[in-house]
Amino acid sequence: MSTTDKQIPAITSTKLFKYGFGLVNNPLKAISDIVDAYGDIASLKISKIGSIVFLNHPDYVKHVLKDNQDNYSRRKAVKQPSFSALQDLLGNGIFMSDGAQWEQQHTMLRNLFSPTSIASTLPIIDEELTLLTKRWQTQITKKPIIDVEQELHLLMLRIMLRTHVCSNFLFPFSDILATLKNFMNVSNSKKIFLAQLKAFVLKPLGIKYHYNKPQQSLKWLMAFVDELIEALLQRAFIPNGLFATMLVDYNNGKVCKQDIKDQLLNFLFAGFDTTSTGITFTLYNLAAHQPIQQLVKNEIVDTATKQFPVLEKAIKETLRLYPPVWSYAREAIANDVIDGYCIPAKTLVLISSYALHRHKNFWQNANEFNIDNFEKENFKGKNFVYIPFGQGKRMCIGRALADYQMMTIVPHLLRVFHFATVDDKKPIINPNIIIKATKSIKLRVSLAS
């Protein structure tokens, strides 16, 4: 990196309302507009938050997420007021921890994502897919349109809890999913900002306003998790995966009940929703591009092989266009220099994978679905312009599991079913904490011929 000081293009006061409001109302569009107008680095000053620096170049991304990653704290970034509800949910789990605490947790949890551990989850995945398949086969004889987003989110929640808590526990799956969905909906930056604005307006009138909708969802979820942990410690069930690991460490005095709770809540936050979103948008893209769907069907006929190159490219291209984690926030711990630009300590750095994945200098027809983007020659040198799982040592610990699940579940569904879109309209993206469509994605489903 150059040591020559350069001035970061600053968003002027005349544009502050436009982009400030845009970041709250539609952050994906706002960030895309910022990088289009100002280039691959830009700064915005917002009261109470301070300076936000937007980075949209692979070299800058590499510096923050890998080369000088220890200087950029995720925990400090997520402690911003806009993420307050998220802090309450995640505690000191793997997602929020930093430094030595993160290293310790990562070491403890990484065995859960070894090839052997991942392969051991296949029987439960098969059981759940069999149940889903039978239900869909019955359903499409009466109504061929299925809410695949809702169905797949429930599927992945069931798989996660059965593989990482207990395989035969009577979980209230639908209640858990509804509570998590509600928490996400009431905890996004737009809702938090509007709540803060309301409190600010009412304060001079002597009225104290507290936005407690996230806490209402959390209250039920926390009570459920507490009961589950008590059942674990009382040997009420045989634990799997995460809970089996945590129980051993609890008995050895390495972790406490709060540690177990934090890790489970982190798994509930990031252990199934991102993967189900990836599968949902993959099925949508295959439904919208019938020739590609047919190519995938042709290659998955042979169940003896797990090598499905067309499907692999289709999944990667889906994660390019619809990255479930659409942004990465970090706070600079100490002063730094990126390509000659000074990044002062306490600066909030924001990398939008959504904007980066659509960078016109690195992707042709960047907004269109094109699996050729992931031909070997076309993808060469793009490791830091494609970051659906992050990069560096803080790359998603569950990446291998997510890849395995997507490459297992999508072929299974395509062998049994054919998917088509309900209409020609592309999904409108909802930039919630995890990317979704504004309307749940529904597809026309029929039996495969």
Q: Is the pLDDT of residue 16 over 80?
A: no
Both tokens of residue 14?
């005349």
Q: pLDDT digit string (tens) for 364-379?
A: 899 999 999 999 999 9
- pLDDT, mean of residues 310-328: 96
Q: pLDDT digit string (tens) for 128-177?
A: 999 999 999 999 999 999 999 999 999 999 999 999 999 999 999 999 99
Q: Is the pLDDT of residue 12 over 90?
A: no
Pick from 441, 440, 434: nearest CA to 188:
434
Both tokens of residue 13?
């006061």
Q: Is the pLDDT of residue 196 over 70?
A: no
Averaged confidence pLDDT in the chain: 90
Order of strands, sheet of 417-421, starting from the edge strand that comes earlier in the sequence:
145-147, 442-447, 417-421
**Per-residue confidence (pLDDT) for residue 209, from 0 to 100:** 67
Q: Is the pLDDT of residue 82 over 60?
A: no
Q: Is the pLDDT of residue 81 over 70?
A: no
- pLDDT, mean of residues 328-335: 94
Which ranges constitute the DSSP H helices of 387-430?
399-416
More reliable by pLDDT, 225 or 194: 225
Q: pLDDT digit string (tens) for 390-446?
A: 999 999 999 999 999 999 999 999 999 999 999 989 999 988 888 989 999 999 999
Label residue 50 left, alpha or beta by phi (over 0 means left) and psi (-120 to 50 means alpha).
left
In the three-class reduction of DSSP (H, G, I as helix; E, B as strand; rest coil), residue 169 is classed as coil
Q: pLDDT digit string (tens) for 58-69?
A: 999 999 999 999
Q: How confident is the model at residue 198 (pLDDT cuts 50, 70, 90)?
A: low
Widest pairwise Cα distance in the chain: 70
**Per-residue confidence (pLDDT) for residue 1, from 0 to 100:** 47
**Per-residue confidence (pLDDT) for residue 121, from 0 to 100:** 96
Helices (H) and strands (E) in the chain, counts: 20, 12
User: Which residues have a Cβ under 8 Å from the Cβ of 70 and sit 6 or more positions away?
Assistant: 99, 333
Q: Pick the range with the lowest mean pLDDT from 329-338, 380-389, 426-435.
A: 426-435
Pick from 26, 52, 121: nearest CA to 348:
52
pLDDT above 70 coverage of the chain, percent: 92
- pLDDT, mean of residues 175-196: 78
Most trustworthy range by pLDDT among 153-167, 208-222, 300-314: 153-167
**Per-residue confidence (pLDDT) for residue 84, from 0 to 100:** 58
Which ranges constitute the DSSP H helices of 5-56?
13-25, 27-38
Q: How confident is the model at residue 211 (pLDDT cuts 50, 70, 90)?
A: low
Q: Is the pLDDT of residue 382 over 80?
A: yes
Phi first, then psi, for residue 198 (nearest 5°) are -60, -45
Q: Is the pLDDT of residue 193 over 70?
A: no
Report yes or no: 293 and 304 within 8 Å, Cβ to Cβ. Answer: no
CA distance 148 to 140: 12
Q: Is the pLDDT of residue 3 over 60?
A: no
**Per-residue confidence (pLDDT) for residue 217, from 0 to 100:** 84
